[in-house]
Amino acid sequence: MSRSRRLPISREQIDGETVYRDGGRRIRSRREIARIESLAIPPAWTDVEIARSSSGKVIARGIDAAGRTQAIYSPAFRRKQERKKYARILRFAERLPQLRKQVEHDLRRRRLGEDKVVACVVALIDREFFRVGNVEYARKHDHYGITTLRRKHTDVSGSTVTFDFVGKSGKRHVKKVRDPKLVRVIAQLEQMPGYEIFRFFDEDGDVRDVDSKRVNAYIKRHMGEEFSAKDFRTWGGTLLATSALLAAETPEGTEDAAVVRDVIEHVADRLGNTPTVTRDSYIDPRVFAAFEDGVTIPQLRGAMSRMRPRKHLTVEEQCVLKVLRRR
């Protein structure tokens, strides 16, 4: 990897000691070394490049153990991106019903073609917030997302399918889905040749794998170019947190911080993330603001009994929309 002028500092190991160089000259300033080490660049990264300042967009870059180029972004840039992501999540929620309508239509198709099988995958991501998955990552680490799941990871029993697999960071996931339509499709897919469960017949009758590109193309086609499978996890974290707050029993004297902590841990467990990552990246901050103002969540609790599920939007999802639109 050629060294960037914006990332002129390198990292190397000499006799078990970590050494940083800027333009070939060893850095000895304790303050500068402390700044670099505060970036928490993973020890396993190779070909590490580091910026002289922590105020730019990319402040470090390297190659991870899987051979992928990874980057560490500045706090200011990450905050900017988080604001964009959370602004997008309201638009995502507003367009979700039209995607669900299309999924429902495609699941009724008789042939196990691309539209039907991808619709099944999208429906499962929508229900259970699966990561979409990556073939190379699955091959190298035996860590799976929905598009890389194999028949050994699924068990169909009656109207229930159980997914049991190891996902990102080595976390085991067990997800049960009770939906006759989806289970029927998966039972058919189990009879197809090949290891991966989500495969389809193309126009020539050849068997093809469903991959992340096909899933994201389907989402973009029916929701809009700005959306992808990743948005379902941000939506999922926001929805799960709102639902948990609406259901939370908070006896007088209960600290808000304790309730928020319990909710974050609940959502983290469902998504398979750490609590810190969950709060920072998967729960829209407007949700906790609505709880901490002491008004919005209690009002929604009172209104829920008068609300009715819509065709493609649950009562809880309608409450999330109200939270996102109010603030």
Other CB atoms within 10 A of residue 142 CB: 11
Domains: count for the chain: 3
Q: How far apart are CA 225 and CA 301, in angstroms?
A: 35
Regarding whether 312 and 240 lie in a shared domain, the answer is: yes
Query: Is residue 96 situated within a structural domain?
Result: no
CB 71 within 8 A of CB 61: yes
* DSSP, residue by residue, 105-144: HHHT-SS--HHHHHHHHHHHHHHH------HHHHHHH---
CB 248 within 8 A of CB 259: yes
User: Residue 265 belongs to a domain with what CATH number?
Assistant: 1.10.132.120
**Mean predicted confidence (pLDDT) in 213-238:** 97
Regarding whether 61 and 153 lie in a shared domain, the answer is: no
Q: How far apart are CA 12 and CA 32, in angstroms?
A: 16
Sorting pLDDT into bands at 50, 70 and 90, what band is 66? confident
User: Residue 43 belongs to a domain with what CATH number?
Assistant: 3.30.66.10
User: Residue 146 belongs to a domain with what CATH number?
Assistant: 3.90.15.10
Regarding whether 209 and 141 lie in a shared domain, the answer is: yes
Q: Is the pLDDT of residue 208 over 60?
A: yes
pTM of the model: 0.80
The average confidence (pLDDT) of the chain is 92
Regarding whether 251 and 169 lie in a shared domain, the answer is: no
Q: pLDDT tens, 124-166?
A: 999 999 999 989 888 888 999 999 999 999 999 999 999 999 9
Q: pLDDT tens, 251-288?
A: 676 788 999 999 999 999 999 999 999 998 999 999 99
Structural domain including 115 reads 109-223
pLDDT of the residue at 1: 46
Q: Is the pLDDT of residue 327 over 80?
A: no
Regarding whether 256 and 204 lie in a shared domain, the answer is: no
Regarding whether 240 and 146 lie in a shared domain, the answer is: no
Structure tokens at 301: 């609790």
Regarding whether 120 and 219 lie in a shared domain, the answer is: yes
- Tell me the range of 85-89, 178-182, 297-301 where mean pLDDT is highest: 178-182
Regarding whether 314 and 237 lie in a shared domain, the answer is: yes
CA dihedral 261, 265, 267, 271 (to 10 degrees): 150
